[in-house]
Amino acid sequence: MRIALHAMPGNEATADRLAQALAAAGHAAHSCTCGIHRFPDGESLVTVDAGQANAETEAVVVCTLDKPDAKTVPLLQASATLRELGARRVGLLAPYLPYMRQDARFAPGQAISARVYARLLSDHFDWLLTVDPHLHRIRNLGEVYAIPAQALSAAPLLAEWIGRNVDAPLIIGPDEESAQWAEAVAQRANAPVLVLRKTRLGDQAVRVHLPDLAAWPNHTPVLVDDIISTGRTLLSAVEQLRRAGTPAPVCVAVHGLCAGNALPSLLAAGATRVVCTNSIAHGGTPIDLTSLMADGVQSMLART
């Protein structure tokens, strides 16, 4: 069975790396691109590689879904078109899966967008593979996705990076929701772990509460979270750690959405490094998800 990795714009390098990893594992894998034409009135028109859409080829659309609203309509066009052109199955590899944080109605009339978005993708794809979605009140993807949906964990890769780059790390999750990531990373890095408490006052205003750190003298604080969005959660933690007189902290996250000036603010506040995976492209030397995702694609194709 051949595998075609259809890269939505911006995902070409990810699809190329995956095709190479899958080819090295013995698969006939190719990457190709989906083009988007944007009309002056704001509509979009997607063109897929028709030569790669047939019943003998597994179609995998590769699209990380930061800034999801603009990406979603083209994504659905791609999936529908691949199917119309003969693809038997169309899967979605979304290294970053959006909308998972709105997993409840926090005020009357609010949408539970995690459910709405899950229904939309479930209607258009045969399976979904992603990395560390923000699972909180929704405990697993199967609660909201009606298709086979697998969440890969980047914790081993984060732990490996910390082991190579930080002496005597003290892993710190900046809020209760980060406990699952911080604890998984700490266990693999064989390091102590602390989980802080956070009060969110608004989209851009949070305060984390730092306990006494006297039990960990000479440890380097490593803040671990799943997402850096505005960066305010980690910023509050970095500021308080610096005020408490700890060594300069390191920030490690799976998904660097990094809106606005998130990155420079963290560095200016005293973080020595801010490291994310390449689920979302940005500068620096990211933690590479290719082998994790290539293994995930193989197991998803074997299981579905």
Distance CA 160, CA 253 (A): 13
Cβ contacts of 129 within 8 Å, gap of 6 or more: 91, 92, 93, 94, 149, 150, 152, 293, 296, 297, 300
Site for ligand R5P in 176-215 (CB under 6 A): 177-178, 206
Reported for 241-247, long-range contacts at CB under 8 A and 24+ positions apart, including other chains, are: 241/172, 241/210, 241/213, 241/270, 242/269, 242/270, 244/210, 244/213, 246/213, 246/219, 246/221, 247/218, 247/219, 247/220, 247/221
Per-residue binding string, ligand R5P, 45-84, x by CB under 6 A, is ----------------------------------------
Place of tokens 């694609």: 297
Binder of ligand R5P out of 15, 149, 208, 227 (CB under 6 A): 227
Stretch that binds ligand R5P, among 1-9, 44-52, 186-194, 223-231 (CB under 6 A): 223-231
Q: Which of 5, 30, 13 is nearest to 282 (CA)?
A: 13
Q: Is 175 in the site for ligand R5P (CB under 6 A)?
A: yes
- Least distance in Å: CB of 230 to ligand R5P? 3
**Is 57 or 64 the residue whose CB approaches ligand R5P more closely?**
64
List 124, 226, 241, 296, residue binding ligand R5P (CB under 6 A)? 226
Q: Is 233 in the site for ligand R5P (CB under 6 A)?
A: yes
CB of 239 to ligand R5P, least distance (A): 13
Q: Which is nearer to ligand R5P, 58 or 175 (CB)?
A: 175
Q: Which long-range contacts (CB under 8 A, 24 or more apart) does 69-73 make?
A: 71/8, 72/120, 73/44
Binding region for ligand R5P (CB under 6 A) out of 51-59, 120-128, 156-164, 171-179 = 171-179
Instruction: Assess 239 for contact with ligand R5P (CB under 6 A).
Output: no
The whole-angstrom separation of Cα 112 and Cα 99 is 9
CA 169 to chain centre: 23
228 near ligand R5P, rule: CB under 6 A:
yes
**Binder to ligand R5P among 57, 230, 265, 279 (CB under 6 A)?**
230
Smallest distance, ligand R5P to C-beta of residue 109, A: 22
Binding site for ligand R5P (CB under 6 A): 101, 175, 177-178, 206, 225-233
